[in-house]
Structure 1
Amino acid sequence: MGKVLTIHGGVPLKGKVTVRGAKNLVPKAMVAALLGDSPSVLRNVPEIKDVAVVTSLLKIHGVLVSKDEATGDLTLDPTAAKTAPSNEIDAHAGDSRIPILFCGPLIHSIGEAFIPDLGGCRIGDRPIDYHLNVLRQFGAIVDKRPGGIAISAPEGLKGAKVSLPYPSVGATEQVLLTAVRAAGTTELVGAAVEPEILDLIALLQKMGAIIVVQNDRTIRIEGVPTLKGYNHKALPDRNESASWASAALVTKGDIFVEGAVQRDLTAFLNTYRKIGGEFEVTDDGIRFFHPGGPLNPLVLETDVHPGFMTDWQQPLVVALTQADGVSIVHETVYENRFGFTDALVTMGASVQLHRECLGAIPCRFGQRNFQHSAIISGPVKLKGADIDVPDLRGGFSHLIAALAAEGTSHVTGIELINRGYEKFMEKLIGLGARVELAELAKTA
């Protein structure tokens, strides 16, 4: 049975929220524990669905996972790792794509891996072909079976020269987790270099890996036969930080985001200031607030790091509906990330989607019939509506639109938001939001 969130809009969000470890790092760090021959300790772990999914997947593979209830720290002991039944992997994975990253570590630790058909947010194709091609280059044998894929390496994994056609975060993670214990040297060209990738590299180095990051998106990894456990504090979630920043702007509020780090939010902060938002940086976090007056329209293109991150785009689009003029947003990372704007239009926003590249540089989605550019006209008065959450960031965007709107909104599908936002209901209530959560009524 699902839940429905009732939101009474028009209340500025004010107060403090705390952001902990990054959703885009913590699950991968947990998987990396499989590579060690001794227990690992991961700190600053958020209570989100993805962590629960990976915990379950590790446990059915024989990894002992224990949580310090006082601190939230996880201890992960892989010394009894084993093969897991495919039906259990399928049952515990749900719609998560994390199992694909288990492959390299599992082959190193127990000689084989199985991954079920994968799900995830409906924001683009996100093919796993990158991952399978990477594993084949390391010498893995990929055997497609009903319901999933079996992967093995009878002769062991060997270093490879890998060139990515696009700096995919997932494929870069796959290479790192596979190469660190592969025999020989691996060269990865066209790598992603997001802060979460660099934090994963720092963690792997603690385990004994030898990894060199060059300034041309090339990463070199010298394989080592064994790795030890790590003790690591995950970097804060910059995407959640940016989401709350947009919430402050849209609701004309004032939110201190404890744990937000300026270094990892530089591109976002520049844009936030251009649109008319203000922020104050302290050692403990960043205060985001609406200083009053009209917001400014702008032209924005998403990009891989160090550009403006795609996960920041959706919440900020809601703010652009309140800007005085016409804004253009060109999405270059995921081809179908504007599906969430349908609900904004229902609420009164003026958003037109286009197949053309409405940006300075044509991207890989041009001429491919993807509606990946948006023209947003404002300001408009948003009105409450019935909304079904389409994906993680889009869902949070709907929430803040509803919080700013006149009247009452009913939001379903909020379970998706639990994938990446820790205790978001508690945080909303703590910021003064007028919200109620109830079971969805049964239909005949």
Structure 2
Amino acid sequence: MNSLTQDAALHGSAVGLTADTITFRGGQPLKGRIEVRGAKNLVTKAMVAALLGETPSLLKAVPNISDVRVVSGLLEIHGVRIKRDDASGDLHLDPSNVESAHMAEINAHAGSSRIPILFCGPLLHRLGEAFIPDLGGCRIGDRPIDFHLEVLRNFGAVIEKLPDGIRMSAPDGLSGAKIQLPYPSVGATEQVLLTAVRATGRTELRNAAIEPEIMDLINILQKMGASISVDADRVIRIEGVDRLEGYRHRAIFDRNEAASWASAALVTKGDIFVAGARQAEMLTFLNVFRKVGGAFEIEEDGIRFYHPGGDLKPVVIETDVHPGFMTDWQQPLVVALTQAHGVSIVHETVYEQRFGFVDALVDMGATVQLHRECLGSEHCRFGQRNFLHSAVISGPTKLHGADIEVPDLRGGFSHLIAALAADGVSRVSNVGIIARGYENFIQKLHDLGADFTVES
């Protein structure tokens, strides 16, 4: 049974938001049913999109995660009225009284989030100006905002760098533009969409990201009155309109969270039903999961992931933009690959420093070697830049308990499942980062039978 420092750690809405350290006693298979709600990578952008509407919006299946709280705070200081139903996940957003906010308030609410950059297009349309602070985020590599600033300049924004942030204005309004991204960046694609829908004229975006969360954002904007077409060759065309209305929309499920729990089932030799998960958006992950030796069953209301017995098998994985293998999927799966019989290779092509989390796995007994070379089928943009972006994992290796500090969101969840699979006791600190993207993860661990103690 779980030993918790206080009952509220399991049942309070702040679960996972205030916890700092969890002590795990490993070796217990995770078994049971959990539910995933709306995708972190969609709901926060959908909340920003509500700024573009002249009437209120309703977003359904919004998870109770800290990133949602950050965006809610940023919207509220800009005059948006927000009402949330925690039980249903319904979020009502009324932007009828949008107003400017002071830089100090934006800084205070944004914290380490990078989401403020996406406020710029909608605020330039509504107010003619926008402010953003210095941006933070997970320590997984360089995430420059140059793409975003260049996009906004193309639309006609005037950008002024200040000591504590950036001020933008649009004295002549924003106009459509032809934009070619050097890389199909999700964030830059979102920036174009949120800016172009109210810009005068036509926008053509080439080399756009086409992730399911991007397509769901397009669905939302179309519901609001936008005119957007997506071609098969990563070209998105937007016809600007004068007015957008609010929307009613159920967010796409969080496929990253679903894949994380699937990996947890595999590495702990468990059996987890992930309610809300869908096959279509996880097709690439499911293929790899089965190749490693995992099993799954597709149901109407979710997917069952389980370890069917027998040895896990090594694989070669190359992360890529959609429809490739997601970068957010590789970190939890790497933990499972430490238990595979043979040598696995993971070539990371999306973020150049996403293997920082493996240091803790090595301390726990894993055999992982990092390389600067591209150990994949193709050379990637990091191959000649001295980044450790390829991993060779040899297994199986017995994992043992250790003291771990969470470095980032996905790596942090990977550390949790490593601790759950390890022999002995592990003390994992800085777990609050995990609450950025995993709703009520402590409660879910409890429901799945994990043996742990929470320290607030």
Q: Give the TM bin, normalised by the shorter chain.
A: over 0.9
Distance 2:43 2:21 in 1: 28
Choose from 383, 386, 409 the match for 1:392: 409
Distance 1:72 1:420 in 2: 15
RMSD: 0.7
148, 166, 169: which one aligns with 2:186 = 169
How far did 1:409 drift?
Answer: 0.3
Q: Which residue of 2 aligns with 1:365?
A: 382
Residue type of the alignment partner of 2:71: V
Residue 233 of structure 1: aligned partner: 250
Match in the other structure for 1:424: 441
**What does residue 354 of structure 1 align with?**
371
Residue of 71, 74, 78 corresponding to 1:57: 74
Corresponding position of 1:412: 429
> How far does the alpha carbon of each residue in 1:108-163 deviate from its partner, in whole angstroms, 9 at most, with x for none?
11111000000000001010000000000000001000110001110000000000
The percent identity for this pair of structures is: 70
Separation in structure 2 between the aligned mates of residue 70 and residue 321 of structure 1, nearest angstrom: 38
Deviation at 1:367, TM superposition (A): 1.1
Alignment partners' CA distance in 2, 1:176 and 1:222: 10
Match of 2:309 in 1: 292
The C-alpha deviation readout for 1:346-377, integer Å capped at 9, x for no partner, is: 00000000000000000000010000000000
Distance 1:317 1:72 in 2: 32
Alpha carbons 2:112, 2:136 under 8 Å: kept: yes
Q: What is aligned with 1:442?
A: none
State how far apart, in whole Å, the 1-side matches of 2:373 and 2:208 are: 27
Paired position in structure 1 for 2:47: 30
- Aligned counterpart, 2:418: 401
CA distance in 2, matches of 1:273, 1:103: 42
1:188 aligns with 2:205: yes
Aligned residues: 439
Map Cα deviations across residues 250-281 of structure 1 (whole Å, 9 max, x no partner): 00000000000100000000000000000000
Q: What is the one-letter code of the residue matched to 1:292?
A: G
Query: 1:234 is aligned with what amino acid?
Result: A
* Correspondence 1:40-439 to 2 at 5 A: 40-439=57-456
Q: CA deviation at 1:68?
A: 2.5
Partners of 1:67 and 1:412 in 2: how far apart? Answer: 30
Structure 2 contact 64–86 (Cα < 8 Å) conserved: no
Cα pair 2:19 2:454 within 8 Å, conserved:
no
Deviation, 1:72, is 2.2
Q: Which whole-Å CA distance do the structure 2 matches of 1:390 and 1:358 have between them?
A: 24
TM-score (structure 1 length as normaliser): 0.98
The residue type paired with residue 307 of structure 2 is H
Per-residue CA distance 1:52-102 (angstroms, 9 max, x = gap)? 000000000000011134422011011100000100000000000000000
Letter of the 1:67 partner, please give it.
R
How far apart are the structure 2 equivalents of 1:70 and 1:96? Answer: 25
Q: Distance in 1 between matches of 2:125 and 2:191?
A: 13
CA deviation digits over 1:193-235, x for unaligned, max 9? 0000000000000000000000000000000011000000000
Cα distance in 2 between the residues matched to 1:68 and 1:351: 44
Deviations 1:162-219 (A, max 9, x none): 0000000000000000000000000000000000000000000000000000000000
| Alpha-carbon distance in 2 for matches of 1:146, 1:61 | 22
1:7 aligned to which of 24, 30, 40: 24
Which secondary structure state, in structure 2, belongs to the residue aligned with residue 25 of structure 1?
helix
SS in structure 2 at match of 1:24: helix
C-alpha distance in 1 between matches for 2:398 and 2:174? 58
CA distance in 2, matches of 1:229, 1:260: 27
- Tell me, in whole angstroms, the C-alpha distance in 1 between the residues paired with 2:225 and 2:34: 35
TM-score (norm 2): 0.96
User: Which 5+ residue runs of structure 1 have no aligned equivalent?
Assistant: 440-444
Letter in 1 for 2:92: T
Secondary structure of 1:203 counterpart: helix
Change in Cα spacing, 1:2 to 1:17, as seen in structure 2 (3 Å) is closer
> Do the aligned partners of residues 2 and 244 (structure 1) sit closer, same or farther apart at CA in structure 2, a change above 3 Å counting?
closer
SS of the equivalent of 2:40 reads coil
SS in 1 for 2:41: coil
